[in-house]
Amino acid sequence: MELKDIKSLTLYELENEISELGERGYRAKQIYRWLNLGIKTFDEMTDISKSFREKLKQNYMIANADIERKLVSNIDGTIKYLFKLYDGEYVEAVLMKYNHGYSICISTQVGCKMGCKFCATGKSGFSRNLLPSEMLAQIQTAQIDNDIRISNIVLMGMGEPLDNYDNVMKFLLLVSSPDGMNIGMRHISLSTCGIVDKIYALADEKMQLTLSISLHATNDKKRNEIMPINQKWNMESLIKACRYYSNKTRRRISFEYTMINGVNDSEEDAKELSRVLKGIISHVNLIPMNNIENGQYNRSSKKRIENFTKVLEKNGVNATVRRTLGADINASCGQLKRRAQQGR
Ligand code: SAH
Ligand code: SF4
Average pLDDT score over residue span 316-335: 73
Which entry of 116, 193, 242, 333 is annotated as an active-site residue?
Answer: 333
Reported as a pLDDT band with limits 50, 70 and 90, residue 330 is low
Q: Which of 106, 116, 196, 227 to mutate to test the pocket of ligand 2 (most atoms within 8 A of CB)?
A: 116
Reported as a pLDDT band with limits 50, 70 and 90, residue 33 is very high
Side by side, which strands form the sheet with 188-192? 66-72, 79-84, 90-98, 101-106, 150-155, 188-192, 210-214, 253-259, 282-288, 319-321
Strand partners, 285: 256, 320
Half-sphere CA count of 28, side-chain side, radius 13 A:
22
DSSP string, 46-101: TTS-HHHHHHHHHHEE----EEEEEEE-TTT--EEEEEE-TTS-EEEEEEEEETTE
Reported as a pLDDT band with limits 50, 70 and 90, residue 337 is low
Query: pLDDT of 225-263, one tens digit each?
Result: 999 999 999 999 999 999 999 999 999 999 999 999 999
Catalytic residue status for 134: no
What is the predicted pLDDT for the residue at 76?
86
Reported as a pLDDT band with limits 50, 70 and 90, residue 169 is very high
Query: pLDDT of 83-141, one tens digit each?
Result: 999 999 999 999 999 888 999 999 999 999 999 999 989 888 999 999 999 999 999 99
Reported as a pLDDT band with limits 50, 70 and 90, residue 204 is very high
CB atoms within 10 A of CB 202: 25
**Which long-range contacts link 189-193 to residues 24+ away (Cβ below 8 Å)?**
189/152, 189/153, 189/154, 189/155, 189/156, 189/254, 190/154, 190/155, 190/161, 190/162, 191/154, 191/155, 191/156, 191/161, 191/256, 192/160, 192/161, 192/162, 193/114, 193/116, 193/160, 193/227, 193/229
Query: What is residue 284's three-state secondary structure?
Result: strand
Q: How far apart are alpha carbons 35 and 132 in whole angstroms?
A: 13
What is the predicted pLDDT for the residue at 276?
96
Catalytic residue status for 333: yes
Percent of the chain at pLDDT exceeding 70: 94
C-alpha distances in angstroms, 234 versus 17, 125, 223, 224, 239? 45, 22, 8, 8, 9
Better-predicted residue by pLDDT, 85 or 342:
85
Q: How far apart are alpha carbons 315 and 274 in whole angstroms?
A: 6
Ramachandran region, residue 303 (left: φ > 0; alpha: ψ -120 to 50; beta: rest): alpha
Length of the chain in terms of residues written = 344
CB atoms within 10 A of CB 235: 19
Rounded to the nearest integer, the mean pLDDT of the chain is 93
Q: Which of 114, 119, 216, 227 to mutate to test the pocket of ligand 1 (most atoms within 8 A of CB)?
A: 119
What is the predicted pLDDT for the residue at 331?
47
State the distance from the centre of ligand 1 to the C-alpha of 51, rounded, in angstroms.
47
Position in ligand 2 atom list of the atom nearest CA 121: 3
Residues in contact with ligand 1 by the CB-under-6-Å rule are 118-119, 156, 160, 191-193, 214, 216, 256, 258, 287, 289-290, 292, 332-333
Q: How far apart are alpha carbons 256 and 269 in whole angstroms?
A: 14
Average pLDDT score over residue span 18-41: 94
Of all protein residues, whose CA lies closest to atom 24 belonging to ligand 1?
289
DSSP state of 183: -
Q: Are 92 and 108 in contact (CB under 8 A)?
A: no
Which entry of 92, 134, 160, 256 is annotated as an active-site residue?
Answer: 92
Q: Residue 5 phi/psi, 5° resolution?
A: -80, 95
Of all protein residues, whose CA lies closest to atom 8 belonging to ligand 2?
159
Residue 193: CB within 6 Å of ligand 2?
Answer: yes
Give buried/exposed letters for 128-140 (b at 16+ CB in 10 A, else e): ebbbbbbbbbbbb
